[in-house]
Amino acid sequence: MNGGNSKRIEVRAPMSGIFYRKPAPDQPPFVEVGDRVKKRQVLALLETMKVFQKVRSPSDGRIVEIIAQNESPVRDNDPLFVIEED
Amino acid sequence: MFRKILIANRGEIALRVIRACREMGIKTVAIFSEADRECLHVKMADEALLVGPAPSSKSYLNIDAILEAARSSKADAVHPGYGYLAEEEKFALACQKEGFVFIGPTPENLRIAGDKIWAKETVSRAGVPTVPSSEGGVASLEDAMDVASRIGYPVLIKAAGGGGGRGIRVCRNPSELQEEFAIARAEARAAFGNEEVYIEKRIVEPRHIEFQILADSRGRVVHLGERECTIQRRYQKLIEESPSPRLTPRLRREMADAAMEAARAVKYVNAGTIEFLLDPDDRYYFMEINARIQVEHPVTEQVTGIDLVKEQIRIAAGEGLDPHLEGLEPRGWAIECRINAEDPERGFLPCPGVVEIFRPPGGYGVRLDTHLYQGYELPMYYDSLIAKLIAYDRTRQGAISIMRRALEEFLIEPIRTTIPLHLRIMNDPDFQKGEFSTDFIERFIPPGEDEED
pLDDT digits (tens, 9 = 90+) for B342-359: 999 999 999 999 999 999
> What band does B43 get if pLDDT is binned at 50, 70 and 90?
very high
Q: Three-class SS string for A5-63?
A: HCCEEEEECCCCEEEECCCCCCCCCCCCCCCEECCCCEEEEEEECCEEEEEECCCCEEE
Beta bridge partners of B214: B222, B271
Residue-wise burial string across B167-186, b where 16 or more C-beta atoms lie within 10 A, e elsewhere: bbbebeeeebbeebbeebbe
Contacts of A47 in chain B (CB under 8 A): 380
Which of B190, B350, B453 is facing A48, going by the closest CB pair? B350
Q: Is the pLDDT of residue A26 over 90?
A: no
State which residue of chain A sits closest to B382, comparing Cα positions.
A49
Q: List chain B residues with CB under 8 Å of A15.
A: 349-353, 380
**Residue A18 at interface with chain B, using a CB cutoff of 8 Å:** yes
Contact A48 B352 (CB under 8 A): yes
pTM: 0.92
Q: Residue B453 — pLDDT band, cuts 50, 70, 90?
A: very low
- Region B30-44: mean pLDDT is 98
Q: Which candidate in A20, A43, A48 is best for mutational testing of the B interface (most B CBs within 10 A)?
A: A48
Q: Are B108 and B267 in contact (CB under 8 A)?
A: yes
Catalytic site positions of B? 292
Inter-CA distances, B426 with A14, B397, B408, B442, Å: 32, 10, 11, 15
| Position B448 pLDDT exceeds 80 | no
State the pLDDT at residue A44: 97
Q: Tens digit of pLDDT for each residue in B64-115?
A: 999 999 999 999 999 999 999 999 999 999 999 999 999 999 999 999 999 9
DSSP string, B97-156: HHTPEESSS-HHHHHHHHSHHHHHHHHHHTT--B--B-SS-B-SHHHHHHHHHHH-SSEE
Q: b vs e for A51-66, b when ≥16 Cβ sit within 10 Å of the residue's Cβ?
A: bebebbbbbebbbeeb
CA of B2: how far to CAs of B68, B208, B271, B308, B317, in Å? 19, 36, 18, 17, 7
pLDDT digits (tens, 9 = 90+) for B258-279: 999 999 999 999 999 999 999 9
What ipTM did this prediction achieve? 0.85
* Alpha-carbon gap, residue B426 to B417, rounded angstroms: 16
B402 — pLDDT class (breaks 50, 70, 90): very high
Read off the pLDDT band of A5 (50, 70, 90).
low
The confidence score (pLDDT) of residue A4 equals 57
At B342 the pLDDT is 96
For chain A, which domains are there? Answer: 15-66 (2.40.50.100)
Same CATH topology for B4-103 and B207-444: the answer is no
For chain B, the domains span 4-103, 132-201, 207-444
At residue B280, the pLDDT reads 94
Mapped to the 3 state alphabet, what secondary structure does B319-372 carry? Answer: CCCCHHHCCCCCCCEEEEEEEECEEHHHCCEECCEECCEEECCCCCCEEEEECC
CATH level 3 topology of B132-201: Dna Ligase; domain 1 (3.30.1490)
* CATH fold of the domain at B207-444: D-amino Acid Aminotransferase; Chain A, domain 1 (3.30.470)
Query: What residues have CB less than 8 Å from B179, skipping those under 6 apart?
Result: none
Residues in contact with B322: Cβ distance below 8 Å, sequence separation at least 6, in sequence order: none
Q: Which of B351, B378, B384 sits opposite A50 (nearest CB)?
A: B384
Chain A CB contacts of B353 below 8 Å: 15-16, 76
A-chain residue closest to B353, CA distance:
A16
Alpha-carbon gap, residue B173 to B202, rounded angstroms: 12
The arithmetic mean of pLDDT across residues B278-300, rounded, is 96
Task: Answer yes or no: is pLDDT of B452 > 60.
Answer: no
Segment B213-230, tens digit of pLDDT: 999 999 999 999 999 999
The topology under which CATH files domain B4-103 is Rossmann fold (3.40.50)
DSSP state of B376: P
Give the pLDDT confidence score for residue B14 in this predicted structure.
98
Please give the pLDDT value at position B187.
Answer: 85
SS3 A72: strand
